[in-house]
Chain A
Amino acid sequence: MAKKSTPPQTERTYERFPLARRIEHLTMLLSFTTLGLTGLIQKFATSTTSQFLVGLLGGIESVRSIHHFAAIVLIIGTMYHLVVFGYQAYVLRIRLSMLPGFQDAKDALQALLYNIGFAKSRPQMGRFTFEEKAEYWAFVWGTIVMAVTGFLMWNPITSAKILPGEFIPAAKAAHGGEAVLAVLAIILWHMYGVHIKFFNKAMWTGKLTEQEMLHEHPLELADIKAGIADRRPDEATIRKRQKIYFPIASILTLGMLAGIYGFINTEETSLTTIPPLAEQQVEVFVPQTATPRPTSTPTAEPTIAPTVADTPSAATTPDAATAVVSWDGSVGPLFQQKCAACHGASGGLNLAAYTDAMKGGASGVVFTAGDSAGSLMIIKFESGKHPYAVLTTEELDQIKSWLDAGALEK
């Protein structure tokens, strides 16, 4: 007779997820994680952690490419899911056990009440618990929001041809908000539900033990035991339905693939803009004068400085005539100031004192009293022979007047 004993260690197992489902899950896991990571570091781009990760992934353009690639993987995964769903619903006519119902709300309430001590037992649930359905439908909602807003951001120019431009930043806001929600929900809900509460390996092994089935999906287990779980229709019926479904599915698949192609290729300049423009090229070196610092342009004739003395007008001449033209009164200080640095005590012509000056230098007497035109100094200056023409025309005129007046000392 049956005694109270633990079941044998070789427990019966039940297939929960066939290999294709597990691969599908892995694909979603990888693409979702990639999208979450590469997306959040763009949303929070100013944080140093994000910047470090962006650098690690090869820069922002590379991060965007990875994000776009993962998005396409996720969308293709979703399309595959839809096609498979169609097959199961139409060809195999399985129970639509993932559809949410009123019972799920009751289960959730009962679970919560049980947790806080107001219900006697946990709810008994079927193939998909309310936790699993919540996550599944949240994923469906999230995928729709992300795909639509993602399209708007990926193809802003096309979108703005139909929609107001404001939809683009709104799409970005929704995309970012939904991303934060999705990632946090996965971390909280999924992590707790299948890793912490009970380490559920069904997505990897594909199986649950009888004990686990009893804990997690007692109603499904009961159905299996009672023989009223989904049963495969007979082969003839399947083949008949396949003949209808496959063509429809093929057309749908092609349509969806065309949609993806459009998603990627609708526009170019939102991703790769045209290169910088010629209008920004400015002439940098446009000097105001021939050389950076203004210099007088060379002329054939020596230019005359525009001073008062340039025009020996009636206004200046009387002054000059009436002034005492003597060494001490006028030319002596001039020679001292302008010439003595060279023509001083260092030898040769010495213009520091009247007597020395009148003696002349190595070339002989330079000042001839009463004859400015015959004075060597004036001849040299007027013919440009003095190596450094340090005297102005006015000063030279002053010296000439002094010579013509007799080259007096006082």
Chain B
Amino acid sequence: MRRLKIAQALPLLAGIVLVALAIAGSRSQTVRAAPHINQVAAPNSQQVDNSVCLACHSRPDFNLTMANGEDLSLTINPDKFSQSVHGENEIACTSCHTDFTGFPHPELKAASPREIATTYYTTCQQCHAEQYDKALDSVHQRALAGGQTNAAVCTDCHDPHEQTRITNKDTGEVLVTAKLHIPQTCAQCHSGIYDTYKYSVHGAALTEEGNLDVPTCIDCHGVHNIQDPTTAQFRNETPQLCAKCHANGTLMRAYGLSTNILNTYVADFHGTTVTLFEKNSPDQPTNKPVCTDCHGIHDISKVDNLQTGIALKQNLLIKCQRCHPDATANFPDAWMSHYVASPDNFPLVYYVNLFYKFFIPAVLGGMAVFVVTDFVRRWIERRKGATH
């Protein structure tokens, strides 16, 4: 055939390359860096010995009634201070209370204890610059800037006079005692959420069994640079967040939990959508559910819990109906419950996939045999100069 040219095979090649590209691998997950603590004692040439301060401030029940009528506790428990990380490192009172180097003390301008706290915390950045800077980018700091004076500052979570060491000095890992205490720290302001969390599968394991595999507040919300969890971005990132632990084989094996939860979710209609939102438009809201929409947030229960567990169809249906009010009894099976289709679970899906697994190569293989032989035959004919 005179029209037969190699260049005409280009569209075919281009098509195959395109399909191959589309099947190409997905992005790998990022690994969270371990927290780094940098502590340097603030240099202060004119430090007053702490015993001078404690002479008065160790007095129990040493209160100052402030302009708003609230008492400001001026008592420092010397024992607790000496056991604290600041005490251990012999940090001088005047390192933070820089203007309190003599007596009488400078006049107190703040009208309330809270006003002192919300102005004093800036002193922490002298030594804890990294943590301080991160905290500046937190939901707490934004709330504070917006006039919500109850928003937590450094000293609300870390009492500077009593805070003991949180991380291992050498490895930087969070100490067991510190981790167990985290939810109670957050509960000072978020006690409603804590009361929910402590009965959840995670919270109960931590508070009742001292299980350190489970997430505390900071594992999901972060620490210092805690972000607003109500944003679209936080929601879109939720599957990746849960997968940090739930796609971890070594961690899940101990509890007999599947690590397929992320890939089965992403393979499903809902998960595909959320994944694409997370990649393409992370700050755009989507109405497709993320993990927490079915499993709960602070009230996550075991899936086989009779009252709330969503492994039970009637419980799952309630979750479906939150977004699809017309859904009926069969509908929950439209979601494969994180199962990978097999002859036992979702056999119809399994056999459909199996059919195409053989049908596609069979059809295309048959076509290819004809196309290739036809192409070669015509090429030979063309070389011989045959026309037919």
Contact = CB atoms under 8 A, between A and B. Distances in A.
Interface of A: 40-42, 44-51, 54-55, 59-61, 108, 111-112, 114-117, 122, 153, 156-157, 160-161, 163-170, 172-174, 177-178, 180-181, 183-185, 187-189, 191-192, 195-199, 215, 267, 269-270, 272-277, 280, 282-289, 291-293, 295-298, 303-305, 307, 337-342, 387-392
Nearest to B229: A284
Nearest to B64: A388
B332 interface: yes
Given A59-B281, A286-B189, A295 B331 contact: no
A306 to B, nearest CB: 9
Contacts of B378: 197
B24 A49 contact: yes
Given A47-B26, A189-B367, A295-B73, 7 more contacts: A59-B280, A167-B348, A197-B374, A282-B196, A287-B189, A295-B71, A391-B59
14 contacts: A54-B280, A111-B374, A157-B331, A166-B348, A178-B356, A184-B360, A196-B11, A215-B388, A285-B150, A293-B117, A298-B70, A305-B60, A338-B56, A392-B59
B380 to A, nearest CB: 9
B330 A164 contact: yes
A280 B319 CA distance: 12
A45 B187 CA distance: 40
Contact of B353 (A122, A173, A269, A280): A173
Nearest to A192: B371
A59 B325 contact: no
B373 A51 contact: no
A274 B191 contact: no
Nearest to B20: A49
Given A165-B333, A195-B11, A196-B12, A47 B276 contact: no
A388 B56 contact: yes
Contacts of B196: 282
A164 B333 contact: yes
Contacts, number: 280
Mostly helix, strand, loop or mixed at chain B's interface?
Answer: helix
A11 to B, nearest CB: 15
B21 interface: yes
A191 B188 contact: no
A393 to B, nearest CB: 10
A46 B266 contact: yes
B191 A286 contact: yes
A180 B150 contact: no
Given A157-B324, A185-B363, A287-B191, A55 B349 contact: no
Contacts of A191: 11-12, 15
Nearest to B196: A282
Contacts of B334: 156, 160, 165-169
A47 B369 contact: no
List 6 tightest A-B contacts by C-beta distance, closest first.
A165-B333, A177-B356, A286-B192, A115-B373, A46-B26, A168-B334
A160 B364 contact: no
Given A115-B376, A286-B190, A390-B62, A292 B22 contact: no
B12 A177 contact: no
A51 B280 CA distance: 7
Given A198-B1, A293-B117, A390-B59, A188 B364 contact: yes
A296 B61 CA distance: 9
Q: Give the size category of B's interface with A.
A: 35 or more
B257 interface: no
A180 B356 contact: yes
Contacts of B323: 269, 273-274
A51 B279 contact: yes
Nearest to A152: B334
Contacts of A47: 21-26
B269 A181 contact: no
Contacts of B325: 269, 274
B356 A269 contact: no
Contacts of B71: 295-298
A298 B360 CA distance: 80
B331 A160 contact: yes
Contacts of A197: 1, 4, 374-375, 378
B355 to A, nearest CB: 7
A44 to B, nearest CB: 5
Contacts of A288: 187-189, 191
Given A44-B23, A164-B333, A188 B367 contact: yes
Contact of B63 (A183, A270, A296): A296
Interface string B106-127: 0000000110010000000000
A22 B375 CA distance: 27
Interface string B359-388: 110011001111101111110000000001
Nearest to A390: B56
B191 A389 contact: no
Contacts of B349: 166, 169-170, 173
A187 B15 CA distance: 6
B245 to A, nearest CB: 21
B71 to A, nearest CB: 5
A287 B330 contact: no
Contacts of B328: 157, 160-161
Contacts of A287: 150, 188-189, 191
Q: Determine which residue in B23, B72, B73, B152 has the highest number of CB atoms from chain A within 10 A of its CB, and name it.
A: B23
Contacts of B178: none
B45 interface: no
B247 to A, nearest CB: 14
B387 to A, nearest CB: 9
A74 to B, nearest CB: 20
A192 B370 CA distance: 10
A177 to B, nearest CB: 3
A40 B355 CA distance: 19
B62 A174 contact: no
B55 A295 contact: no
A299 to B, nearest CB: 9
Contacts of B26: 46-48
B228 to A, nearest CB: 10
Given A283-B192, A286-B190, A307-B60, A267 B326 contact: yes
Contact of B69 (A161, A173, A296, A298): A298
Contacts of A183: 19
Interface string B147-175: 00010100110010000000000000000
Given A46-B275, A282-B193, A165 B56 contact: no
